[in-house]
Amino acid sequence: MKIILLEHPRSITPERCNDIANTPLSSCLISGYAAGMLKKCGHDVEIIEGYLDRLTYGEIENEIRSIKPDILGVHMVYHWRQDHELFGFLENLKDRRLASTITAYGFYATIAADNILKQSTAVDSVISGETEMTFPALAEAASTGLFTPFLPGLSVRYQEGIRCTRRRPVKDLDEIPFPVRTEAQYRLPEVNILGSRGCYGRCTFCYINSFYGTGVPWRGRSPENIASEIAAINAERRAGRFYFTDPNFFGPGLKGQERALKIAALLKPMNIFFGIEGRVNDIHDKTIGRLVDAGLRHILVGLESGRDESLKRMNKMTTVDQNEQALRVLRRHGIEPNVGFIMFEPDSSLEDIRINFEFLKRNDLLANLPVTANVLYHHQIVLEGTEAYHMLKREGRLQLRDSSYEGNTCLKTPGVAALANIMRGVTNVLFSRMAAIWSGKIAETPDTRRQNAEINRILVDTFENCLCQLEAGEQFDDKHIRIMAQNAEREINGSLNKSYGSDD
Ligand code: SF4
């Protein structure tokens, strides 16, 4: 069968340019893995990189028209309010008979399958969770005309409702083919590798495990299997930089550390650099030392909070001591980590915010502008499939606007909500002005370091001044919030205009 897998265009709305959670990083190879398995089963598969190749829907339609696929698979990524454009495009394809069967897959599609199937009659089915077992079965059923709504791993419209069947997770990750990689993916600064799936954590704000479903929450490929994929890519492309997109590079406990040590031993002779993401309780001195020796240069660790009570609320299963210990270990080995940090959670009190702020200062996490802008801004995004979403729903605090997929809630403490609003406005201005510079599209000027330090100071001062006023009992009404945000924005714009010119 001829099968197209579409990575559709994604857009960033100005008010969401500092939000990062529209799909987990680990989903970036989902189409590649589906393509690898479908090819192995004898199908003719093409991936259209609508997002990375910056294609318009018109260009994508032309490509689909020229291929005339039997099945169009769409890796559906939630992109705030822009989904209607994608659904409109799919309806149009169906109307013009350019795609007879459309199936959606991915995190968003899995978790919002019911809504998608109700909302869009163009989408015939949704693959729940991993694609590798279900997609070939769907292709087989379509080719023989023996399609049944009971196909395992598939959600479909059936009779008056939606019928979902159980997911089909991959039992042994070493058994599936390596993902197909497109030219667009090779143009990225690093080659993405997926060494494991799922996470043994259960953070209330995360939906990694809702995607994979029940069963073993963390599954790793063998170190040998990972090393052989990297070796093959190196032989073909001479790629020297890799990034493990695993939500949690380390498996649980001692076995997880031993596996990481083995990966380090196998990667060391390859002369590569790589990055990983992990939990702070897995940052052990010996393992990090060996990984650094093997080429580890970047790591993102989820600190999330500087207060134990907040970490408990998020069910992070880590402590502030572990956060600080992980920072010390990483720095001792010459790694300055990226950090995940949720400054504003639904139940944050002003005391939580103060303790977070002092934690960030004490641990030298407010000195680098891109980090400062993130840690002083991030509020908890509430997506369907997370424990937080269901908890807020149970408590009657979940607000839904355009879709039931993303919820909102009023932050419990009015002062915290005011500070969150101010920081959202200020950092959105900063992120949209700095986007081209931070993405490397515009060369930085020689005085960039001084410039960034100045803006960093403005952000930290704005945060602390507002926090002090709120702690002193001041009430911020909408006008006050607007003025505080505008003052900071004016200062930032003034500073940026000196170095990069006016935005007008
Ligand atoms: S540590 Fe928490 S946030 Fe990170 S992947 Fe695991 S469950 Fe998700």
What HEC string does 385-443 produce?
CCHHHHHHHHCCCCEECCCCCEEECCCCCHHHHHHHHHHHHHHHHHHHHHHHHHCCCCC
Between CA 259 and CA 200 the distance in angstroms is: 15
* Pairing verdict, β 125-127 and 101-105: parallel
Residue 304's SS3 state is strand
Is ligand 1 within 6 A of the CB of residue 279?
yes
Note the pLDDT of residue 447.
72
Which of the four pLDDT bands, split at 50, 70 and 90, describes residue 317? very high
Give the range among 98-102, 240-244, 316-320, 428-432 with minimum mean pLDDT.
Answer: 428-432
Which of the four pLDDT bands, split at 50, 70 and 90, describes residue 444? low
How far, in Å, from the CA of 196 to the mean position of ligand 1?
13
How far, in Å, from the CA of 200 to the mean position of ligand 1?
8
| Angle, CA of 303, 309 and 312, to the nearest 5° | 70
Is ligand 1 within 6 A of the CB of residue 220?
no
Note the pLDDT of residue 446.
66
Buried b (16+ CB within 10 A) or exposed e, 319-328: ebebbbbbbe
Note the pLDDT of residue 353.
98
How far, in Å, from the CA of 273 to the mean position of ligand 1?
24
Between CA 11 and CA 74 the distance in angstroms is: 16
Q: HSE-up of 401 (CA within 13 Å, CB side)?
A: 6
Note the pLDDT of residue 443.
66
Atom of ligand 1 nearest to the CA of 207: 8
Predicted model pTM: 0.93
The string of DSSP codes covering 53-116 is: TT--HHHHHHHHHHH--SEEEEE----GGGHHHHHHHHHHHHHTTS-SEEEEESHHHHHTHHHH
Closest by Cα among 347, 312, 360 to 456: 360
Give the range among 100-104, 284-288, 476-480 with minimum mean pLDDT.
Answer: 476-480
In percent, the amount of the chain with pLDDT more than 70 equals 94
pLDDT at 434 > cutoff 80: no
How far, in Å, from the CA of 270 to the mean position of ligand 1?
29
* Pairing verdict, β 2-7 and 44-49: parallel
How far, in Å, from the CA of 296 to the mean position of ligand 1?
21
Residues 124-146: tens digit of each pLDDT: 999 999 999 999 999 999 888 77
Q: Is there a contact between 208 and 227 (Cβ–Cβ < 8 Å)?
A: no
Atom of ligand 1 nearest to the CA of 277: 4
Q: Which two tokens stand for residue 435?
A: 């986007």
Is residue 464 within a helix (H) or strand (E), and if so which, with residue range? Answer: helix 448-471
Residue nearest to atom 2 of ligand 1 (CA): 203
What type of residue is 259? R
What mean pLDDT do residues 458-472 have? 95
Residue 279, Cβ neighbours under 10 Å: how many?
24
Which of the four pLDDT bands, split at 50, 70 and 90, describes residue 319? very high
Domains of the chain: 2-164 (3.40.50.2300), 189-341 (3.20.20.70), 343-380+413-504 (no CATH)
* Pairing verdict, β 296-304 and 338-341: parallel
Tokens 């915290």 sit on residue: 416
In percent, the amount of the chain with pLDDT more than 90 equals 72
Residue nearest to atom 8 of ligand 1 (CA): 206
Residues 356-380: tens digit of each pLDDT: 999 999 999 999 988 999 999 888 8
What are the residue ranges of helices labelled H in 252-395?
253-267, 285-293, 308-313, 320-332, 350-362, 369-375, 387-394
Query: At how many degrees (to 10) do helices 83-95 and 57-67 cross?
Result: 30
Q: Which two tokens stand for residue 286?
A: 């010996």
Which residues does residue 208 pair with via DSSP β-bridges, in sequence order? Answer: none
Is ligand 1 within 6 A of the CB of residue 280?
no
Tokens 């600190």 sit on residue: 303
> What Å distances lie between residue 370 and 20, 172, 373, 437, 500, CA to CA?
13, 39, 5, 11, 17
Which of the four pLDDT bands, split at 50, 70 and 90, describes residue 14? low
Give the range among 6-15, 98-107, 213-222 with minimum mean pLDDT.
Answer: 6-15
pLDDT at 20 > cutoff 70: no
How far, in Å, from the CA of 136 to the mean position of ligand 1?
30
Note the pLDDT of residue 163.
86
Give the range among 15-29, 137-151, 183-197 with minimum mean pLDDT.
Answer: 15-29
DSSP secondary structure letter of residue 306: S
Most confident of 74-83, 109-118, 214-223, 278-287: 278-287
